[in-house]
Amino acid sequence: MSTDTPSLPRHVAIIMDGNGRWAEQRRQPRSFGHRAGQKAVRQAIEHCMRRGIGALTLFAFSSENWRRPETEVSALMTLFLKALDKEVDQLHANGVCLRFIGDLSRFDAPLRKRMHAARERTAGNTALHVNVAVNYGGHWDIAQAARSLAEAAARGDLDPAGIDAEMLGAHVCLADLPAPDLFIRTGGEHRISNFLLWQLAYTELVFTDTLWPDFDADCLDAALDDFAGRQRRFGRTGSQVAESTAPQP
């Protein structure tokens, strides 16, 4: 694991918070804010591509969001369907690899079919990996990884004594990508809300009061500049990191 901080993160993870409050400030229904948030998603994807970032993971719908009013959940699902139908062609044309992480079994069959089709269509693209977390929770992610290993042990395919953090990490979502270097949460809250609990172990965290529909390219650049100014030590001292990254004579 490298201890020097590159100028740009390889992988950015974002909790897109504040759509509902943005709408309420304008005396509009919360669904109005979610539609505005969709434009911010498009901007974030486009700007990550311009800046050369390799992966972007967006928390779109948590496993806890089912507790929201039924009308809002229904509006979100409708918006999600329309967004898939509208955006996938452009994402594919721009070389974006799109996939969805989370327990997809709770979604209706038509939505699952569209998500699967979008993933299959864009699977070979490499310009930017966009991961959309839907019905996702960090506890669920770790539990499903542990269950997978337990099932393998029960079959006799592995010795339980050999299970370690590296093996478990290979079974959580996004194991094929670098862990997020930068986490951003909009909307003024200062918590990670059960998002990528395993993957965020050494991630740099940025919190902003900006509501998600107002989070534009300048806001993303500000977070990237903040990241670039940090020293990532991974347990080492600052002087050790400085020595390891100093130019060699």
Catalytic residues: 17, 65
DSSP state letter for 159:
-
- Look-up: residue for tokens 């534009």? 216
With H, G, I as helix, E, B as strand and everything else as coil, classify residue 236.
coil
Work out whether strand 11-15 and strand 182-185 pair parallel, antiparallel, or are unpaired.
parallel
In this structure, how many other beta carbons lie within 10 angstroms of the beta carbon of residue 81? Answer: 16
211-228: b (≥16 Cβ within 10 Å) or e:
bbbbbeeebbeebbeebe
Per the CB < 8 A criterion, the answer to whether 187 and 18 are in contact is yes
Q: What is the CA radius of gyration of the chain?
A: 19
DSSP per residue, 181-235: SEEEE-TT--S-TTSSTTTTTT-EEEE--S-GGG--HHHHHHHHHHHHT----TT
Structure tokens at 149: 């290993």
Q: What does the alpha-carbon distance between residue 222 and residue 237 come to, in Å, rounded to a whole number?
A: 26
Euclidean distance between CA atoms 43 and 16, whole angstroms: 13
Structure token digits, residue 234: 């991974």
